[in-house]
Amino acid sequence: MERLRMAVFASGNGSNFQALVDAIQEGQLHATMELLVCDRPTAKVVERAEQASVDTFLFHPKQYANREAYEMEILKQLEEKQIDLVVLAGYMRIITETLVTPYYGRLINIHPSLLPAFPGKDAIQQALDYGTKVTGVTVHFVDGGMDTGPIIAQRAVAIDEGAHSEDVTQSVQRIERELYPQVVQWFCEGRIQLIDRIVQINHS
C-alpha cells in the first residue's frame, strides 16, 4: 500500500508533530512526513523538523497582503508536494476556505477539550474555570468554523479535585500524543468514512 503523504501545520512547541514523526520512525504509522508549515520562525517545532530532516515552509504573515495571499502560497506548497492529509497541531491561525475547500475531508485538527464544549483558545483553562469534572481531547475534520467540524475521535480526561492547569495539561497532552498518530493511521488504512457530519470508523 502506498504511504500517505502528510503535512503538519504548527506554531509552537510541536509535541504532536514529534509524536507523529516518532510513530513513523517506529513503524506504527504508515505515512511520510513531507512538510511542516509554520508561521513563527522561533517556534520549537522548527527545530524538531530540522532534527527529523523534514522540509519546512516558514512564512511571515505580515509579508503578505492578507490571509488569502499566504493561504494561496501554502496551497501551492501542498500541491507541489502532493499532500494527501493536512494535520493541524497547535497552528494558531484561522484557516479559511482557500485551504478548507480543496482539502475538506483531508484536513484535521486536535483540540484539548471534548468538543463542542470549550472551543477556541485556552480550552483547558476554560474547563477548569467552568468547573467540569471531565475534559478531554477531540480530533476532528476542519470546516469553516472555529473547532466545529465533524468529530473523528474523543478521549476523556478526569479533572481531580483541586487539580491545577499544569496537571490537566500534562494528562491531556499524554492522550494527544497517543490519539493523533492513531487517527492518522486509521486514515492510512482507509478506515475513516465521513457521511454528512457523522464520522464512522471501520474497526473490522
Q: Of the two residues 39 and 176, which places its CB atom closer to ligand GRF in the complex?
A: 176
Rounded Cα–Cα distance for residues 82 and 64 (Å): 24
Residues paired with residue 194 on neighbouring β-strands, in sequence order: 199
* Among 30, 111, 164, 203, the one annotated catalytic: 111
Q: Of the two residues 71 and 176, which places its CB atom closer to ligand GRF in the complex?
A: 176
Binding site for ligand GRF (CB under 6 A): 10, 12-16, 89-90, 110-112, 176
Rounded Cα–Cα distance for residues 67 and 55 (Å): 22
Q: What is the closest distance, in whole angstroms, from the C-beta atom of residue 195 to ligand GRF in the complex?
A: 25
Instruction: State the CB neighbour count (10 A cutoff) for residue 42.
Output: 8
Q: What is the closest distance, in whole angstroms, from the C-beta atom of residue 43 to ligand GRF in the complex?
A: 8
Inter-CA distances, 195 with 58, 105, 199, Å: 35, 10, 6
Give yes or no: 203 in active site. no
Rounded Cα–Cα distance for residues 94 and 195 (Å): 24
Residues paired with residue 10 on neighbouring β-strands, in sequence order: 38
Helices first, then strands: H and E counts in the chain: 6, 9
Q: What is the closest distance, in whole angstroms, from the C-beta atom of residue 15 to ligand GRF in the complex?
A: 3
Q: What is the closest distance, in whole angstroms, from the C-beta atom of residue 103 to ligand GRF in the complex?
A: 17
Rounded Cα–Cα distance for residues 67 and 47 (Å): 25
Residues paired with residue 13 on neighbouring β-strands, in sequence order: none
Q: Of the two residues 74 and 108, which places its CB atom closer to ligand GRF in the complex?
A: 108
Q: Of the two residues 174 and 197, which places its CB atom closer to ligand GRF in the complex?
A: 174
What is the set of active-site residues? Answer: 111
